[in-house]
């Protein structure tokens, strides 16, 4: 395994107008590691993912993906990264086949068989345009497309949000399958704490523009906790962290 992080943020700040969303974020994701970002709405989780994609540039600090600057080497980085947004961002008239044909030329490691296996496993309709799919179907289509790229780094932005329990479990099984398939690094932003507890090698709590806590689930919630209690303890840790950050700002 390479000693170089697959994804690295070092002292990263990013603002929008007068509002600073990220303020000194430092976080590495190793090859074959799954890091789950936790934090309240507006904490900057999606901003961090967009920085990794090169869609945004940091105000200060550095971001690297497989050693590359995602802004200066945007084309190379996007060939290495699979991205599942919080809602499908492809043309709404596209079916899965259209989506695959559109993306295939841009990804040298594209594997149709891998993508079609994911489509079958996730039960994605192949003849329905994205505009006619449910949110869950659209999310599964985007996950299948991301896996077909055989990425070095997989970025997931709220992949389980707003899904009914059956579809959510489908997506979760698809993500777990992707984690077992190869040594890719995964950075996942989610509010679903039970999903986080199931997939994370480490969790990173984003609050006040910084990584307030980071470690394995056991380290963050306390090693004495039973696995079944981990989601509830993660919720308590989040609440404690937000309260602490709020008190610090008010002091």
| Residue 134 resides in a domain | no
| Residue 210 resides in a domain | yes
| Residue 110 resides in a domain | no
Nearest to 190 by CA among 170, 212, 168, 210: 168
- Classified as helix, coil or strand, 189 is strand
Q: Which range marks the domain in which residue 61 is found? A: 7-90+153-250
Contact 198, 34 (CB under 8 A): no
Measured CA to CA, the distance from residue 64 to residue 80 in angstroms comes to 12
Mean pLDDT of 5-13: 95
Number of domains forming the structure of the chain: 1
* Strands of the sheet with 19-29, listed across from one edge: 19-29, 7-16, 60-65
Helices 112-122/165-180 angle, 10° precision: 150
- Taking only the tens place, the pLDDT of each residue in 35-72 is 999 988 888 899 999 999 999 999 999 999 999 999 99
Element containing residue 203 per DSSP (H, E): strand 202-207
Please indicate whether residue 157 or residue 228 has the higher confidence score (pLDDT): 157
| Residue 80 resides in a domain | yes
- Taking only the tens place, the pLDDT of each residue in 84-103 is 988 888 899 999 999 999 99
- CATH number assigned to the domain comprising residue 242: 3.40.50.300
Q: What is the mean pLDDT of the chain?
A: 87
Residue with tokens 């919630």: 221
Contact 65, 81 (CB under 8 A): yes
Name the least confident of 85-99, 110-124, 155-169, 212-226.
212-226
- Taking only the tens place, the pLDDT of each residue in 130-182 is 999 988 889 889 999 999 999 999 999 988 887 888 888 888 887 877 776 66
| Residue 139 resides in a domain | no
| Residue 146 resides in a domain | no
Mean pLDDT of 214-242: 77
The pTM (predicted TM-score) of the whole model is 0.89
Contact 54, 127 (CB under 8 A): no
| Residue 14 resides in a domain | yes
pLDDT grade for 228, boundaries at 50, 70 and 90:
low
Please indicate whether residue 87 or residue 81 has the higher confidence score (pLDDT): 81
CA–chain centroid gap for 230, Å, is 20
Measured CA to CA, the distance from residue 46 to residue 31 in angstroms comes to 21
The CB-side HSE value for 7 (13 A sphere, CA atoms) comes to 29
| Residue 217 resides in a domain | yes
Measured CA to CA, the distance from residue 53 to residue 75 in angstroms comes to 10
**Two tokens at 53?**
């994609």
Position 73 pLDDT exceeds 50: yes
């Amino acid at each position: 395994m390479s000693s170089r992080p697959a994804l690295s943020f070092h002292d990263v700040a990013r603002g929008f107008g007068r509002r600073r969303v990220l303020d000194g974020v430092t976080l590495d994701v190793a090859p074959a590691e799954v890091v789950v970002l936790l934090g309240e709405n507006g904490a900057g989780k999606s901003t961090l993912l967009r920085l990794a994609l090169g869609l945004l540039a940091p105000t200060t600090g550095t971001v690297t993906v497989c050693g590359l600057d995602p802004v200066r080497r945007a084309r190379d980085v996007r060939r290495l990264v699979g991205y599942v947004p919080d809602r499908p961002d492809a043309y709404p008239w596209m079916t899965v086949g259209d989506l695959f044909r559109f993306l295939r030329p841009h990804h040298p490691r594209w594997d149709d068989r891998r993508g079609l296996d994911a489509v079958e496993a996730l039960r994605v309709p192949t003849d329905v345009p994205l505009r006619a799919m449910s949110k869950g179907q659209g999310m599964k289509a985007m996950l299948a497309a991301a896996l077909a790229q055989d990425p070095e780094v997989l970025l997931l932005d709220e992949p389980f949000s707003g899904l009914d329990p059956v579809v959510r479990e489908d997506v979760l099984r698809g993500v777990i399958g992707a984690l077992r398939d190869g040594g890719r690094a995964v950075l996942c932003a989610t509010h679903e704490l039970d999903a986080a507890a199931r997939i994370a090698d480490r969790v990173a709590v984003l609050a006040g523009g910084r990584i307030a806590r980071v470690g394995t689930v056991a380290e963050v919630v306390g090693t004495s906790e039973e696995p079944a209690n981990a989601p509830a303890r993660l919720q308590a840790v989040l609440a404690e962290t937000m309260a602490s950050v709020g008190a610090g700002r008010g002091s």
